[in-house]
Amino acid sequence: MSTASVTNGNGPSLSYPEGLPDRVAPLETEALAGGMRILFAVMLAAGTLLVLGLLVNAPQFYHSYLFGYVFALDISLGALFWVLIHHVADAGWSVGLRRVFENLTRAIVPLAVLFIPVLIGTFSGNLHAWYAFVHGPEPSEEHLQHLWHVKHVYFNTPFLLARLAVYFGVWIAYATAMRRWSLKQDAVGGAALTRTMQWWAPSGVVLLGVTSTFFAFDILMSLQYSWFSTIYGVYFWVGGLRGSLSSCVLIVLGLRAAGYLRQTITMEHLHDVAKLMFGFTVFWAYIAFAQYFLIWYGNVPEETQFYLLRRNGDWYTLSILLPILYFVVPFFVLLPRAHKRNPQWLAFAAAWILAMHAYDLYWQILPVLHNDTVHLHWLDIAAPLFFLGVVLASTFWGFANYPLIPIRDARLNETIGYENETP
Amino acid sequence: MTTTTNPPHQAPHGPPFPDPLPRIPLVWGPATYDSLSEQISSITEKPQPYWWWPAFLITASLLCGGVLAATYLISTGVGVWGSNNPVNWAFDITNFVFWIGIGHAGTLISAILFLFRQKWRTSINRFSEAMTIFAVICAGIYPGIHVGRFWYAWFMFPLPNANHIFPNFRSALLWDLFAVSTYFTVSLIFWYIGLIPDLATLRDRAKSRMRQRIFGFLSLGWRGSTRNWRHYEVAYLMLAGLSTPLVLSVHSVVSFDFATSIIPGWHTTIFPPYFVAGAIFGGFAMVLQCMIPARAAYKLENVVTIKHIDVMCKFILATGSLVGYAYLMELFIAWFSGNPYEWQTFKNRAFDGDYTWAYWVMMTCNLIIPQVFWVRWCRQTPWFVLIVVTFVNVGMWYERFVIIVQSLHHDFLPGSWGQFYPTWVDWLQMLGDFGLFFTLTLLFIRLLPMVAVAEVKGVLPMANPHYHFVPTGQYLKGSEGEYPTADHALAATYGAPSLPITEVKPHSEPVPPFIPTPGGRGTPWGAIAEFANGTQLLEAAKKTLAAGYKHIDAWTPFYVHGMKEAIGRTRSRLPLFTLAGALTGLTAAVAMQFYFSAYYYPIIVGGKEYRSWEAFVPIFFEMTVLVAGFFTLLALIGLCGLPRLFHPVDSHPTFHRSTQGGFFLTIEAKDEKFNPDETRAFLESLGGRHVAVVEA
C-alpha cells in the first residue's frame, strides 16, 4: 500500500501508512449494497409493523418500542464506554477495535431523535404509571402522600425534560468529540490528538456513569415507580457493556468473513475481547445476584414487588431461565481457552449474549404491561429488529465513509501484529 | 557483560509505524537482571538502616498495647468496651471491616491487574500482597475475641454444638467466616507461589549455610526450569482468575453483614459493589502509605517510579469516585424511594444527627480531598501524596464507623435511640492493630524481597526481543523528535535502559568438561551450556529441538515468552486440576449446607425455607474457590516435581545464576541422541559457554 494520497469511494482523501497488513480503506459502496438493501428492507418492514402496532394497540406499542429502544441505546452507550476507557487506560492493543466502537456510538444521534415516541408514550399515559400518579390529586392515604410529594418533584415535566436533555447532550458531545478527534488523527497523525482524547476521556467516564444511571432510573426503574434499587444503574450499565462487546465481536467476525481486517484484527485481539465478555458475564451474575439476594433476604414488600411481579404466570419460568441462559450458558461456552480463540464458538457466544441481553430487557420491561403472564406480541419482535437495524446502519455508514481502523494512531505499533501473551 | 553506564544505543531498525508517543519503560534508568537481583535481594542480606530498630520498637509497643487490651477484654468481659445497647457493634466491627478492606488492594494489584496485563503492577504487587495477608490477620482477630470469650471461637466453625445444632448457614456472619478464611488462604497461596522464584534467588545468593538451607527449603528447590515455568505461569493465571471474583465476594459478604438486615442505612442493594470499591480505595491508600517511605528509605525510585505513584493515585481517584457514586445513589434513593425511615437516617447522618461530624469527615476525606488527584503535580509529588492518602485512610475508617454506629444509634423507634462512647480499651485495641500491621510489614521488609524481582526482570526492555533501543540522546523522544509529555522527559533524566547482554559473564576459573556430583552414580546426567540472554537461549533451544534432541530443558530467571514451545512442550494441563478442585469444593458445599440445614437438623431461621438455596450461595462460591486454590497449589507442586532440594545441575559452578541473570540449556543423558562429547560440541557450536557434562 502506498503512502500517496488515496481517494476511497466517498471517504476523505488520506495517506495510508506503509506496511499495514490489510486494506483498511472505507468499505466500497458496491460491496455493501447487497447487505444494506436487506437491512433497509428489514427496517422498513419492522418500521411499518411498528406504525401499524401504534394504531392497533397503543400500550403494547409503547412498551415494545421502549424495549427495542433500550436494547439499541444500551449497546451504543456500552460502546461509548469502551471508547472512553481505551483512552483512560492508554491502551494499545485495542486501537483497531476502537474504530468499531466509535462507529457503534454513531447510533446515539438517531436514537436521540427516536426517543420522542417514548416521551409521547409517557405523556399520553401509555407507558409510565407514575404519570397518572403525579399528575393526579394528592392521595388521601397517608402512606401514599409521602411518595406522591417525592415523585411530584422528581417527575415534574420541565425537570424530567431538562434531565433527559443533559443525558443526551453528554452522550452526543462525548461520542462526537471522540470520533471527530480520532478521524482527524487519521489525517494528521502524531501524539497531540491522542493526548487530547486521553485528557477528556476520564471526565467522560464519570459523566457517562452518572447520566446512564439516572437514565435507567428515570425510564426503566420508574416503570414500577414505587420500586427502587440502588444498584439498578450498575445493572443497566453491565448489560450495555455485554451487548456492545458482543456487537463488536459479531461485526469484526463479519468483516473478517467478508475478507477485511484479517491480519489487522486477529484472533489474538478477539481472544482478549472474549475474555472481557467472559469477565462481564460473571460480573453481570454478581450484580444480578446482589440485587435479587438482598431484596429476597430483606423481604420488604416495597422492594420485593419487582420480583413478585415477575413470578406471575409464565413470567416465573422466564425469571428462572434468565440466570441460566444469560449467565450459566455463556459462562461455560466462554470458559475454555480454545473456545475464546475459535471464530465459530465466539460468534455463537456473542450472538447468544446479544439475544439474552434482549431477553433480559424484555423481562425487565414487559411484565409491567402484562401483569398476569407472558403475552409475546409481534411488536416485541419488530421493535428490537428495527432498532438493531438503526445501530447496524449507523455503524456501517461509518465503515463506508472512514478507514476501518485508526490508521495513524500513536499506538498503531502495538495493535498490528499484537500477540496475546496469556500463558 | 554490559556495564551499567550507557554506551551509545544502536538502532538497527525502528518500529514499523511512526511512534510519536513511546511507552515509558517500567523500570527507569539502566538496569540488568543482575543489578535488580542485587538491588532488591541485598536489602534482606545487609544490616538494616539505623531507623529500623526504633521503628520496630514503636510498632511492637503498640502491638503489646493491643495484646494487653485483648487480655483485659478476655479476662474481664466485653463490658470493658464502649459497645452498648443499641450500639452493639462499634469499634470492633469497624476495625474488622477497615482491615479486610485494606487487604483488597493487594489482590486487585496481584490478580485483577494481572488479568488486565497491567505490567506496572510487578513493581508493587509483592508489597501489596504482603499487606493483604497482614491486614487479614489484623481483621481476623475480631471474630475471635469480640465476644470476650475466645474459647468459644469454635462456634464459628461448621461444627455441631452439644444439642447437635450446626451454625446457621443462612447467617451472614458464618458466610463471613468462610469468605475471610478462604481469602486469607488463597491470598497466602498466591503470595507464596509468587515468592518461590525470588526465594530461590535468595538461596542462590546466600553466603551462609543457614540462609541457603532456609531459603532452599522455602523455595522448594526452584531452579527456573522451563518445564516448571510452563506450569507456574498457568498456575499463576488460574489463581489470578480465582482471586478476582474472590476479592469481590469477600467484601460483598462483609457488606451482607449489614445489608441483609433491614436497618435503614444498611439495607440497600448497592452495598456489595460499594464495599468492594471502598475496600480497594482504602487499600490503595494504605499501599502508598507504606510504599512511599519504603521506596525512599531503600532508594527504590528506579523500580517504584513516580509513574507508579501517579497511576496508583489515579486508581485512588477512580475508586474514590465509585465510592462517591455509591454515596450519591444511597442518598438519592433514600429520598426517591419515599421511605421515611431511610430518609430520616440520611438526614440524621448528614445534617442533624449526633454523628454529623463523622459523616463530614468521611465525605471530606473520601470524596473531596482525593479530587486533587485530577492534577498531575498532586499525583507525582510523593510527600503530598502521602498526606492525601493519610486523609483517605482516616476517611475510610470513618466510613465504616458512620455506617455501623450511626445506623445503630438511631433506628426505627425513638425508644431505642442511644449514643456510643469508646473506652480506652477500644482505642488501645485499635492502635494495637496498627502496631500488628506495621510490625509485620517491618519484618517482611527485613526478611523477604519486597519487590517481585523475577517478574520485574521480565518487563525490562532487555527482556523484550522487540524493544527498539535508540541512541541515548533520542531516548523517549517520539518520532516527532521531542518529549511528548513531561513524564517522558522525567523518565529520560534517569538514563536509557541497559542494552541486552550479549556475552556470558566469565567464570573465575575454567569449567571442566565433566563435573562430578558429590555422591554421584558415575553416569552422566546431561550436558549444560550457558547463554547470554533469553533470545540467544530461545534460538539455541529451537535448534536443539530441530537437531532431534527430545529431553531438553531451558533454565531462566523469569519465563521467556515462547520458551515452552522451543523445548517442545505444549500448554500445561494444570487448569484441569483447578476445575476439578472447583467442582469438588462446590459439591462439598452443596452437600454440607443442604444436609445440615434441611435434613440433619432442619431449623427455620429468619423465615427462610429449609432448602432456600439463595442463602447458601456465598458458601458455595467460597468453598469452590478455596478447594480450587488448594488443587492449583498441589497440582503445581506435583506437576513440577517439587520439592526437589538437590539436583545434579547444582554441581555446575555457574548454574546458581539461573535464578539471577543466567540462561542455561540442558540436554539430558536419557535422550537417545545424547553422547557426552558430541552433545557438548553441539552446545558449543550453538554459542553456549561453560559447557559441561554433569554426573547424575
Cα distances (angstroms) measured from residue A295 to each of A288, A305, B93: 11, 10, 24
Q: Does B341 touch chain A (CB under 8 A)?
A: no
Cell numbers of B337, please?
424511594
CB B266 within 8 A of CB B404: no
Per residue in B627-682, pLDDT tens? 999 999 999 999 999 899 989 999 999 999 999 999 999 999 999 999 989 999 99
Distance from CA of A190 to the nearest CA of B (A): 6
Q: Which residues 149-188 in chain A show a CB within 8 A of chain B?
A: 149-151, 154
Per residue in A116-143, pLDDT tens? 999 999 999 999 999 999 998 999 888 8
β-pairing, A5-6 vs A14-15, is antiparallel
Residue B323, pLDDT score: 94
Q: If DSSP codes are grouped into helix, strand and coil, which group holds residue B269?
A: coil
Q: Report the residue from B252, B261, B330 with minimal CB separation from A230.
A: B330
- Can you give the residue ranges of every domain in chain A? 5-415
- Can you give the residue ranges of every domain in chain B? 264-410
DSSP state of B225: B
Per residue in B449-465, pLDDT tens? 999 999 999 999 999 88
Asked if omega into B643 is within 30° of 0 (cis), the reply is: yes
CA distance B17 to B478: 12
Nearest residue of B to residue A151, measured between CA atoms: B336
Q: Does B68 touch chain A (CB under 8 A)?
A: no
Residue B5, pLDDT score: 40
Q: Does A228 touch chain B (CB under 8 A)?
A: yes
Q: Please list every residue in chain B whose beta carbon sits closer than 8 Å to the beta carbon of residue A297.
A: 256, 260, 606, 614-615
What number of other Cβ atoms are within 10 A of residue B645's Cβ? 13
Summarize the confidence of residues B355-380 as an average pLDDT: 94
Asked if omega into A323 is within 30° of 0 (cis), the reply is: no
Residue B260, pLDDT score: 92
b/e map A59-91, b = 16+ CB within 10 Å: ebbbbbbbbbbbbbbbbbbbbbbbbbbbbbeeb
Residue A35, pLDDT score: 87
Torsion of the alpha carbons at B450, B454, B456 and B459, rounded to the nearest 10:
-170
Low-confidence ranges of chain A (pLDDT < 70): 1-12
Residues A306, B594, A331, A381, CA torsion sign: negative
Residue A327, pLDDT score: 96
DSSP B163-222: TSPPP-TT-HHHHHHHHHHHHHHHHHHHHHHHHHHHHHHHHHH--SHHHHHHHHHHTTT-
Q: Does B268 touch chain A (CB under 8 A)?
A: yes
CA distance A362 to A98: 29
**If 0-12 CB within 10 Å is exposed, 13-18 middle and 19+ buried, where does residue B580 land?**
middle
Residue B138, pLDDT score: 95
CA distance A233 to A214: 7
Q: What is the mean pLDDT of chain B?
A: 91
pLDDT range class, residue B13, cuts 50, 70, 90 = low
Residue A330, pLDDT score: 97
pLDDT range class, residue B412, cuts 50, 70, 90 = confident
**Which stretch of A287-291, B150-154, B538-542, B546-550 has the lowest confidence by average pLDDT?**
B150-154
Distance from CA of B411 to the nearest CA of A (A): 16
Distance from CA of A78 to the nearest CA of B (A): 18
Q: Please list every residue in chain B whose beta carbon sits closer than 8 Å to the beta carbon of residue A291.
A: 269
Q: Report the residue from B236, B267, B336 with minimal CB separation from A294.
A: B267
Our measurement of the distance from residue B123's CA atom to the centroid of its chain's CA atoms, rounded to an integer in Å, reads 11
Residue B3, pLDDT score: 39
Q: Which residues 6-45 in chain A show a CB within 8 A of chain B?
A: 17, 19
Q: What are phi and psi of B553, to 5 degrees?
A: -145, 145
Residues A266, A271, A276, A281, CA torsion sign: positive
Q: Does B490 touch chain A (CB under 8 A)?
A: no
What number of other Cβ atoms are within 10 A of residue A195's Cβ? 17
Q: With 90 as the cut, is the pLDDT of residue B479 above it?
A: no
CA distance B555 to B567: 11
Whole-model pTM: value is: 0.94
Q: With 50 as the cut, is the pLDDT of residue B2 above it?
A: no
Summarize the confidence of residues B52-56 as an average pLDDT: 95
CA distance B595 to B160: 13
Cell numbers of B318, please?
477512580
Q: If DSSP codes are grouped into helix, strand and coil, which group holds residue A280?
A: helix
Percent of chain B with pLDDT over 70: 98
Q: Please list every residue in chain A whose beta carbon sits closer than 8 Å to the beta carbon of residue B259.
A: 294, 298
Per residue in B320-356, pLDDT tens? 999 999 999 999 999 999 888 889 999 999 998 889 9
> How big is the A-B interface in CB pairs under 8 Å?
133
CA distance A400 to A394: 10
Q: Please list every residue in chain A whose beta carbon sits closer than 8 Å to the beta carbon of residue B374.
A: 202
CA distance B565 to B530: 19
Per residue in B89-111, pLDDT tens? 999 999 999 999 999 988 888 89
Residue A420, pLDDT score: 84
